[in-house]
A and B are shown apart, each in its own frame.
Chain A
Amino acid sequence: MITILETSALNTVQDLGRPGYRNLGVGTSGVMDTLALRVGNILLGNPVDDACIELQTYPFVLRFDAPASLAVTGIDAAIEIDGRTMLPWMVETVSAGQVLRVGPPRSGARGYICIAGGIEVPVVLGSRSTQLRGGFGGLDGRPLEAGDTLKTTGATLDVSGYGALPPATVLDAVSREDDAKVISLRAMPATDYELFTPESRQRLWDTPWRITPQSNRVGYRLSGAPLELHHRVELRSYGVIAGIVQVPPAGEPIVQLADANTVGGYPRIATVIEADLWRLAQARIGTRIRFHECSFAEGVAAMRPVDAYLDDLRMMVARYRTSARCRAGIKSGDKA
């Protein structure tokens, strides 16, 4: 078991999401940065869909009431166990009573506390993710509060002290900006692209859009010179997925994300490709993003380095754990 000692708004239990219920109006939820959770679960030998704690506000402090192996992924931050520094993207094992503190990120926005064996909350409609709008999933369908307890298995790994290279250092962005603070994202033109004026279409790609404070797990509202349609259109409600870029009447785009409604009605100008969604999840309010036009084929190809990164990590973890066990004379299957 773990006990939350200190938290502020909007930190929740999430897994890879709740697909399959959008036809009932239930959005997928799930972690914003699926890559960070995948890395955490691979490092810990967890099933791919084990749940974690997604951090959006800091500091976050919890106490382990039972031994645990853990990794904090997604961000670089001051992370401490009983005041001793712990590196992000690394597996550590703690004993009962130890306290984990995650400070504000030095880079990235969303941190993931992954624990060997996962976080045990009830599976609702196939997932442990918190559905904030519907008020179910996760811990009673709500954000975590100080004093909350979460069930863990209490099992630890026999080997720890290894980690992953953060995706940002391995996976190249599509383009390097002169201003390192501008984040490059690839996007495919979507259904209503041609309904925008030629100047607006060009502006979509040229503008360094700023992420406004009205941005959260539902979507990011961007600020920049408004985009204009040739004529105003009234669309019928259609399905929405994470990454879709809609343009409300005021002309400033919204990128829909993990907690988006399942259907929407604003014109769709583009879709951020799946391979770059984790970059958006880790982009902080106030930073700027630039969209780079990409084709379907380029969007598909962009997943290859991501998949290769995860495959390499799986192999590295397996090799490291085998050789560490050999050195320590641990028989496979023993627990520390």
Chain B
Amino acid sequence: MKNDVARDTRAAPTISMIGTRAMLFEAPGDFTMAHQRRIWALMDAAQARPDVCELIPGVTNLMLIFAAPPGSPQAVADWLRHAWDTLPERHIEGRLFEIGVRYGGELGNDLAAVAAHAGLPPEEVIAIHHGSEYTVCAIGSAPGFGYLHGLDPRIATPRKTVPSLNMLAGTVTIGGMQAGISALTGPNGWNSIGYTDINLFDPDRQPPALFAIGDRIRFYPESIAL
């Protein structure tokens, strides 16, 4: 097997080794919930493999970390491909979080830029943002940070070329087609449109992360400052 196992056309997944103890499975096609649910199904199946010690679900992809380098990466890749082709979507009946947002103002100061990019007035951007229901696709990057699916494409906005240096934890953000709530205070390239007082991660809590994959999120405006 080559390190780059399969970078094929549209329909085939891409499977590659990342060093000797990690393998990355990337689904073909778009960022849809149907694809993400198949990734969750794959994650469930891979969890049962005795050679897997850790799984990192990403956005329509899955990284497998092995306890030891696999004897035959090709065999694992074949197993993944077969599982991907045959497993049904895994539906997770997640909890529903209703989260109040203070839109705009100092803590959501990219609202104007998002509105300009969308060609819509800021009020409309806010209405569109809290008009959708979002699903937690994957948790990662920072402790407890959830990648949210469900952003209306009208307000999708590319990441900033110059990141904010000290964005507060709890900032409500848009990064390309992904939505989120920042989990840690620090540098951040996503666009801030508001703020919510929420603690996404506490190592002393069980489970430590507030969100789990499959959870649903609805935002509502607590206040709006334009």
Contacts and interface: CB of A to CB of B under 8 A. Distances in A.
A237 B19 contact: no
A161 to B, nearest CB: 36
B26 interface: yes
Interface in A278-330: 295-296, 299-300, 303
A137 to B, nearest CB: 8
Contacts of A133: 142-143, 184, 186
Contacts of B140: 22-23, 25, 237, 239, 261-263
A26 interface: yes
B4 A25 contact: no
A331 B61 CA distance: 57
A300 B59 contact: no
Given A237-B138, A261-B141, A300-B20, A25 B201 contact: yes
Contact of A136 (B18, B53, B58, B203): B203
B207 interface: yes
B95 interface: no
A263 B18 contact: no
Nearest to B14: A191
B24 A239 contact: yes
Interface in A6-40: 19-26
B19 A134 contact: no
A297 B192 CA distance: 46
Interface residues of A, number: 44
Given A25-B143, A238-B24, A296-B73, A191 B16 contact: yes
A239 B20 contact: no
B56 A274 contact: no
Most A Cβ at <10 Å: residue of B53, B65, B73: B65
A295 B207 CA distance: 39
Interface string B48-82: 00000111111111110100010001000000000
B115 interface: no
B18 A271 contact: yes
Interface string B193-220: 0000000010110011100000000000
A124 B61 CA distance: 28
Interface of A: 19-26, 124-125, 131, 133-134, 136-137, 188-191, 193-194, 234, 236-241, 243-244, 261-264, 268, 271-274, 295-296, 299-300, 303
